[in-house]
Amino acid sequence: MTSLFLNGVFGVSLFLLLLAGGVALHLLNMERTYRRVAATSKVKVDDEGEPKANGGKISKDKLKEEIMEEMFTRQGSNFNAAAVAAWMLLFAAFAYFYFLTPEIFPRHNYFQVSFLASGPLGFAAFGLLVLLFSLVAAAFVPRKIYGYYELSKSMKVAVMFAVPLLAVSIFLSVQQGTIYPEVDLGSRSFAFLALFASEAALLWPVYADALGGMK
């Protein structure tokens, strides 16, 4: 089990696979919604033509645009703020877990960047850099992804709960960096579980919709 936590290839692949799966399923969910609405619509969908309101026809793109517009639901400021924070922390926690200490990727880690590793605020600067990069990606997630799903309160709570969970994961990874070259397997394992549980919680609305859609 410990080797699983320390297996970098497995971990990074799993992380990216879950992310890629989420993106793919989100696109699939949108496409499925469009297809189902088109199939049950009163208006005929014209593959090429422009929308013709009077003739009861509508172009594919126009219908898609209208569906997306109608699907959008406001989820609330608390949730949106927490979701953006959670996604930023997810990337930060991922970076801290796999790329802070050399025991997972000996040639690709924080200690290889000498000006950071030797600086008094190195850990923080490393984290802030990752947060800065991930801000762009995280900022559009609530509007471009969660906004299109009808999220239950429990789903929202799970997404919001990812924030403290990821903070714990980051804290434990920082601890690893502090005690390096020693390794605390217990906290490593917990950091791993917190990281992946959070990723699952953040992506769950998309996966759940895809599962529901398959039925």
Partner 1 sequence: MRLCIVGIGGCGGHLAERFLQNQDVPILNRSLGEHVSFGGVKGLWLEADVQETQNQRFFGSLDRGCYPGFFIPHDIIGDKSKTHRIINQCYGYDLKKQGFMRQAEFLKAVFEIFETDQELRSEASSEYPEYPSKNPILEASWDRIRPYTTLSDQKDNDGESKMCDGILFIVSLGGGTGTGFVNPITRYIRGKYGAYPVFVMGVLTEEGVDPQQRAKEPKRALGAAISLYDLMTKNVVESVDGVILVDNQIMVERFGQDYSAIDDFIHQAMRPFVAGRHYPGEDPPSLAMREKFIEGLNRPPILVPCYWREKRRKDPEDELVKLALTKGRLFGCDPEKADRAYVFTRGFIDHEEIVSAIASYSGIPAERIEPWRKLGENGWDEILILLRNPYGKERGRDVKGTLEQRIHRMIGMAIKYMDDIESNLVKDGMPDRTKRALEDYFYGEDGIRKRFEEALLKIENGERPFFLEERNIFERAIRESHPQQTQETGRKVDEDEVRKIVEAEVSRALAERGFGAGGDPKRTLQEG
The binding site for partner 1 (CB under 8 A) comprises 33, 36-37, 39-43, 58, 63, 66-67, 70-71, 73-82, 149-150, 153, 156-157, 160, 208-209, 212-213, 215
Reduced to 3 states (helix: H, G, I; strand: E, B; else coil), residue 64 is helix
Q: 39 is written with which tokens?
A: 């199939």
> Two tokens at 57?
């026809």
Distance in Å, CB of 212 to partner 1, minimum: 4
- Would you list the DSSP string of 92-154? HHHHHHHHSSTTTSTTSSGGG-HHHHTSTTHHHHHHHHHHHHHHHHHHHHHHHTGGGS---HH
Q: How far is the CB of 65 from partner 1 (least distance, A)?
A: 9
Burial 63-81 (b: 16+ CB within 10 A, else e): bbeebeeebeeebeeebbe
d(CA 209, CA 204): 8
- Give whichever of 64 and 188 is closer to partner 1, judged by the CB atom: 64
CB of 161 to partner 1, least distance (A): 10
Q: Residue 51 gets which letter from DSSP?
A: P
Shortest separation between residue 59's beta carbon and partner 1, angstroms = 12
Provide, rounded to whole angstroms, the least separation between the CB of residue 168 and partner 1: 18
> Least distance (Å) from partner 1 to the CB of residue 158?
10
Residues 100 and 110 sit within 8 Å (Cβ to Cβ): yes
CA distance 195 to 92: 10
Nearer to partner 1, 102 or 147 (CB): 147
Nearer to partner 1, 5 or 87 (CB): 87
Q: Is 189 helix (H, G, I), strand (E, B) or coil?
A: helix
